[in-house]
Amino acid sequence: MKKITFLLILAISAIGCGSDDDDAIEIPGCIDPESTNYNPLATTDDGSCIYNQNVTFNFTQDWDGKPVTAADFNTTVYTNEAGNELKISKLRYLISRISLHKADGTSVDFEDYSLIDLTDSTTLNLSPETKLTTGDYTGISFVYGFNEQDNESGAYPDLNAATWNWPEMLGGGYHFMQMEGTFEDNTATTQPYAYHNGTARESVGVFEQNFIAFSFDKNFTISSDATIEIKMNIAEWYKNPLVWDLNDRSTDLMMNYTAQKDMNKNGESVFSIGDITD
């Protein structure tokens, strides 16, 4: 009887030994509690962890590759495609609805807008509260100006305070850009210009939204806090696809429907994506 009991104990012990850690089920996943997709059930790190990172958009301006800053205002002379020699005294423009498109088909959308003013260095960078998730990205999109949904008269106190409103008789909402300065006309006389862009008024009570939606294919990977450069080539406003002669169109452009639509055409080639660092 004792012998039988002893054999039973050995058998039970053998069964218990057969269910040790070597036979445990392996669960791959993200095992870092600091990640956004932490899996508390995972036993093996499969490299899938995703993290929230800060992103800063850096707005830069140039004239066919030569940097333009507020230090150039009223001093540096630029020659546009029509041969006009001009100086810049003001440059402000609006960017909104920036989105970064991920390789998995999702996107990170930023609801922030930014009124870039070259005389205010704090406006040359935008750091949204929305975080950027790590991973592979395939593109960047944004709106120059406001789209029809966002371009609501009086809706933004900061833009109201900046005197950024577009006249109600011209469609209301807000400016997209103000570029001002002087140029030498055909008689070598210094003349002012005011290249202001916004909603296009076709006729009394008839308006066309005149914003530009940009989308750029750009493959990049984010692994930490990132800085993304959005570049404006100012020279493009005057040359592509239409050569803009300030002798013909320099002031009173806000109510000029054709001028507003031509600004929209030339604006298509103004922006590009520069350096992306993380």
Q: What is the mean pLDDT of each run of 10 residues along the chain (278 residues)?
A: 42 46 78 85 84 94 98 98 98 98 94 97 97 94 98 98 98 98 98 98 95 97 96 98 98 98 98 96
Residue 1: what pLDDT?
A: 44
| Same-domain pairing of 201 and 223 | yes
| Same-domain pairing of 131 and 245 | yes
Residue 52: what pLDDT?
A: 86
pTM of this structure? 0.86
User: How many domains, the chain?
Assistant: 2
| Same-domain pairing of 63 and 135 | yes
Residue 73 belongs to domain spanning: 52-277
| Same-domain pairing of 91 and 197 | yes
Residue 49: what pLDDT?
A: 84
What SS3 class is residue 236? helix
| Same-domain pairing of 234 and 141 | yes
| Same-domain pairing of 23 and 56 | no
| Same-domain pairing of 183 and 246 | yes
| Same-domain pairing of 185 and 273 | yes
> What b-and-e string marks burial along 185-207, b requiring 16 or more CB atoms within 10 Å of the CB?
eeeeeebebebbbbbbbeeeeeb
| Same-domain pairing of 122 and 188 | yes
